Structure 1
Amino acid sequence: MKIKKILTFVFAAALMTSCGNEDGPGGDGGNGGGTEHTEYFGVNMSGAEFGNVYPGVDGTHYGYPTKKDLEYFKEKGLRMIRFPFRWERIQSEMNGPLITTELAKMKEFVQAAEDLNMKVLLDMHNFGRYCVYSNGVNSDDNQFVVIGNAQCTVENFCDVWKKLAAEFKDYKCIWGYDIMNEPNAMLKTTPWVKIAQACINAIREVDTETMLVISGDEFSSASRWKEVSDNLKTLVDPCDNMIFQAHVYFDSDASGNYSKSYDEDGATIQTGVVRLRPFVEWLKENGKRGFVGEYGVPDDDGRWLDILDSALKYLQENGVNGTYWSAGPRWGNYKLAVQPTDNYTVDRPQLATLLKYKTTVQVY
């Protein structure tokens, strides 16, 4: 046991000396000085995670957003793009090679963002799971296993991220690696905090520069952050460039489905602020940086926009940026979408509120 502890210390020390900046290229703290940095708000750009059929057919089950989608939001001043993708599509066999055709599509999108001087957050949109069987036609027979299961080990998860980091680390536009979207109901024997630490260590073997984005447990709940994600404060990034991610929705069950009306949900203008406060307070109490990767409201009742406005004002004032859920060319009439209509000429109702909050200042 002592030998193992010594080796772990030596490994961490070696990583620290190899990091791009001995004080950390970004830092995960907000305490004890630092300098001011402008961070951008933006949108999720969906499509590559669609379908729930694996591998699926590009253009039928899923599809990639385009440079034209990026250009629209760049022109609006929303320069941060959270880019969801699926593990099963980029690596169809665990520990196997990355799929070259999908990797090329991801890189085409990332390069387009880099050409436009936008920022991209690579988001593995898998909820802490891997689909080990899909019939390839629909999702009826899908079989998922949780990370930590014998069929999907922590080592498997670390493997895919080491390979992704090796492919994307040299892009200047990559804001961070969002290592897992909304982990939930993880195995008690392999809690999310243990998986996240292993992934941090693995990525730092190949990339000591790019920021690591760590989602909270139980669907990254902002309102329950102190209850379900407090243990994430024990995570250590040897390169000190880590940020914590929460999600928030304003309907009664915080699911984002908005299946009830505004009045039935019992929402108020302060609903968003109340749900965000536990996360923001935790960041301040622990000297951590924060990001809210998902929030969204329906387009059928303007009172939801008032909640969104108050929530974004609160985030901006507290140095926390975020990305709206969601944009992307495959949403159709989805009531939360901010994808423009009529060949990019008509803005969605939520956009005017988003445009009031384009940047915030973080100190690190």
Structure 2
Amino acid sequence: MSFMRNLTLTILLLMSLTEAFAACPPRMRGINLVPLPSGWYNGAVEMQFPTATQIAYYKSVGMNSIRLPIHWEDLQPILGNDLDARFIGHTVDFLDQAHAQGMKVLIDLHNYARYRNQLVGSPAVPASAFRDVWKRLAAALVNHPAVFAYGLMNEPHHTGGLWHTVAQSGVDGIREIDAVRPIYVDGDGWSNSQNWPKENPLPFVNDPSKKIVYEAHIYFDDDFSGRYKTPLGDADVAARATQRLQPFLSWLTTHGQRGAIGETGVPQDDPRWLAALTKFLDMTDAACVDWFMWAGGGWRESYELSLEPINGKDRPQIKLLRSRL
């Protein structure tokens, strides 16, 4: 009798663990590795993609993935025309290096819902153009094993409601080519996590593959910008982290959606900022939410959110992340 009872308890435990795993798939814990200099590619200045050494560094921290921000103008210099072969070549070279080190890559179109400063969904940049670029990009990368997901558009803002309509065109373009990979969808309002329910009251894209991940961004400075221009003062940054992240997490639960934080970071100039990062890590772990730190790549050493090592030594933020990964 005791044996049967123990067996039953074991089976129930295994079922519980299986359900928990199904509800919380392996999470992406990654870095934004940014090709620099940023800006529009005009053939005169070669963008420098992150190196194999930089990929290896973030893998050593314990990260398993990379968010690669690219600009639409670099990718497709003329709207509706072929993708730039040289730029695609650089992208594939980077993906090859990531794959060789076992790192997965999220391709992020980093354009704020604009193309050459014209709003996506406007007559100048119609929804059909957004569908076109994503169809072409998915076709170029669909067979690459390093690509695990597509990031539809970084930080749409001030779109007058257009983003909630035009986003579907990008999803449709991808799904013409790739029915397998997840699509990460930023929200309007700069993807601000605290303001997410106000700016994005309801889920706004449909995916026949059921693999949408809504992506918010969160910074902890006074103006939410990530520039950290104002000294910290006596603010309770752990409480601020909760205040800013919980609205997005609650929205995900209410609407039964998967979520990710595409950007977050704190500066190293005041160790008290690490309390916000610690609270963020606690909450995202508990909520099964992916995250990608901002930022790695060829930044100047003084850039406040660069996570690149200095003289081979980890920055304080990286020391914290190593302890959690």
TM-score scaled by length of structure 2: 0.90
Correspondence for 1:194: 165
Matched, 1:215 2:186: yes
User: By how many angstroms is 1:33 displaced?
Assistant: 9.4
Q: Alpha carbons of 1:100 and 1:56: their partners in 2 closer, same or farther (altered >3 Å)?
A: closer
Aligned to 2:57, what secondary structure does the other structure show?
Answer: helix
Residue pair 1:251, 1:267 contacting (<8 A) in 2 also: no
Distance 1:244 1:339 in 2: 28
Residue pair 1:95, 1:156 contacting (<8 A) in 2 also: yes
User: RCO higher in 1 or 2 (8 Å CA, sep ≥ 6)?
Assistant: 1
Distance 1:91 1:243 in 2: 25
Tell me the alpha carbon deviations over residues 254-309 of structure 1, each in whole angstroms, 9 at most, x when there is no partner: 01111100017x34322112100000011111111010010111110000011111
- Answer with 247-256 or 33-42: which moved more: 33-42
Residue pair 1:165, 1:203 contacting (<8 A) in 2 also: yes
Tell me the alpha carbon deviations over residues 230-274 of structure 1, each in whole angstroms, 9 at most, x when there is no partner: 23x14210011110100000011101111100017x343221121
Matched, 1:156 2:123: no
Which of these residues, 291, 294, 300, is aligned with residue 325 of structure 1? 294
- For structure 2, the residue ranges without an aligned partner over 5 or more in a row are 1-18
User: By how many angstroms is 1:119 displaced?
Assistant: 1.1
Distance 1:40 1:241 in 2: 15
Aligned to 1:324, what secondary structure does the other structure show?
Answer: strand
Distance 1:334 1:212 in 2: 30
Distance 2:82 2:189 in 1: 30
Correspondence for 1:76: 61
Q: Could you tell me the percent identity over the aligned residues?
A: 31
User: By how many angstroms is 1:53 displaced?
Assistant: 4.3
- Give the number of equivalent residue pairs: 307
Residue pair 2:196, 2:247 contacting (<8 A) in 1 also: yes
- Report 1:5-84 matches (<5 A): 34=22, 36-48=24-36, 50-55=37-42, 57-59=44-46, 62-84=47-69
- For structure 1, the residue ranges without an aligned partner over 5 or more in a row are 1-30, 132-143, 359-364
- Report 1:124-273 matches (<5 A): 124-131=109-116, 144-188=117-161, 191-231=162-202, 233-263=203-233, 266-273=235-242
User: By how many angstroms is 1:170 displaced?
Assistant: 1.3
Aligned to 2:291, what secondary structure does the other structure show?
Answer: strand
Residue pair 2:301, 2:310 contacting (<8 A) in 1 also: no
User: By how many angstroms is 1:75 displaced?
Assistant: 1.7
Q: Alpha carbons of 1:296 and 1:36: their partners in 2 closer, same or farther (altered >3 Å)?
A: closer
Amino acid at match of 1:51: S
Tell me the alpha carbon deviations over residues 59-91 of structure 1, each in whole angstroms, 9 at most, x when there is no partner: 5xx421111110111122112110001100110
User: By how many angstroms is 1:147 displaced?
Assistant: 0.6
Aligned to 2:150, what secondary structure does the other structure show?
Answer: strand
Q: Alpha carbons of 1:171 and 1:260: their partners in 2 closer, same or farther (altered >3 Å)?
A: same
Distance 1:230 1:57 in 2: 43
The ranges of structure 1 where at least 4 consecutive aligned residues each deviate by more than 4 angstroms after the TM superposition are none
Matched, 1:356 2:323: yes
Correspondence for 1:136: none
